[in-house]
């Protein structure tokens, strides 16, 4: 594969991944190659490369005779994704606490600060500011596990994040700016425990954080299914 073909494939991959995660493409929507070629401005080969990568990440399904489709969403998949993410990410956090150096601590502190600043200026009625808040939220969680020493473990976590963020995006204002929870207190407590090298406490706090998020996501997704069923 030529360098230019690879770069076009990366371009198509980035665009399609963004549009699936953001909800521009809805679950189970057929992905017609001719339409995608026009939308992405790339040829057939780089487009198939992009779709194959997205299928490997679980964002797209591929079936004989039916072609590519946006992966479906379901309550079972949501529960499985959040439970698996918690299981894997807590192990990465334990490893990072054991292995982390000054640079790791700096990444946690700076990402928490950036999360706090974005949290202060986020507007529940502004999708762009909520998307920026989600980015800072992701940066913090990446920083927490960035000293795990396992590239493959971090790749697994990234794929699980992609699976969960599709459920998060329609509910960002309820999840991130919900008055019933304080985003900064939750993340600050996790940060403090990690920096104190208190792995059991950090793991318990991260588990509780994801458990609450899962509860809110399950309720939000159930409500959307009920509204769809009732027309």
Mean pLDDT of 39-55: 91
Give the chain's domains with CATH numbers. Answer: 3-70 (1.10.10.10), 75-229 (1.20.120.530)
Strand extents, DSSP E, 9-58: none
Q: What pLDDT does 147 receive? A: 98
209 versus 177: the higher-pLDDT residue is 209
* Cα 82 from Cα 104, distance rounded (Å): 25
* Cα 100 from Cα 222, distance rounded (Å): 39
Confidence of residue 57 (pLDDT cuts 50, 70, 90): confident
**pLDDT per residue as tens digits for the range 165-176:** 888 877 665 555
223 versus 192: the higher-pLDDT residue is 192
Which has the closest alpha carbon to 48: 62, 59, 58? 62
Q: What pLDDT does 176 receive? A: 55
Q: What pLDDT does 1 receive? A: 46
Most confident of 32-46, 103-117, 120-134: 103-117
List, in sequence order, every residue forming a beta bridge with 61; answer none if it has no partner. 69
**pLDDT per residue as tens digits for the range 142-158:** 999 999 999 999 999 99
Stated pTM of the model:
0.83
Q: What pLDDT does 18 receive? A: 85
**pLDDT per residue as tens digits for the range 68-124:** 999 999 999 999 999 999 999 999 999 999 999 999 999 999 999 999 999 888 887
Q: What pLDDT does 220 receive? A: 83
Please, what is the average pLDDT of the chain?
A: 89
Q: What pLDDT does 214 receive? A: 92
**Angle in degrees, CA 213, 216, 221, rounded to 5:** 120
The encoded tokens of residue 138 equal 């992701």
């Amino acid at each position: 594969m030529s360098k230019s073909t690879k770069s076009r494939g990366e371009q198509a991959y980035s665009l399609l991944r963004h549009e699936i995660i953001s909800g521009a493409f809805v679950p189970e929507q057929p992905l017609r190659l001719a339409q995608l070629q026009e939308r992405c401005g790339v040829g057939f080969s780089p487009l198939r490369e992009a779709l194959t990568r997205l299928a490997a990440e679980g964002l797209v399904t591929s079936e004989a005779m039916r072609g590519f489709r946006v992966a479906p969403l379901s309550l079972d998949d949501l529960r499985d994704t959040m439970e698996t993410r918690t299981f894997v990410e807590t192990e990465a956090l334990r490893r990072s606490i054991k292995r982390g150096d000054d640079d790791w601590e700096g990444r946690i502190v700076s990402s928490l600060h950036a999360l706090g600043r974005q949290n202060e200026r986020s507007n529940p009625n502004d999708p762009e500011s909520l998307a920026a808040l989600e980015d800072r939220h992701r940066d913090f969680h990446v920083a927490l596990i960035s000293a795990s020493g396992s590239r493959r473990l971090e790749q697994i976590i990234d794929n699980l994040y992609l699976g969960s963020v599709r459920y998060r995006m329609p509910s960002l204002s309820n999840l991130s700016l919900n008055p019933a929870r304080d985003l900064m207190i939750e993340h600050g407590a996790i940060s403090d425990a990690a920096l104190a090298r208190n792995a059991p406490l950090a793991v318990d706090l991260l588990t509780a954080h994801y458990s609450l998020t899962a509860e809110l996501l399950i309720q939000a997704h159930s409500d959307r299914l009920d509204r769809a069923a009732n027309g």
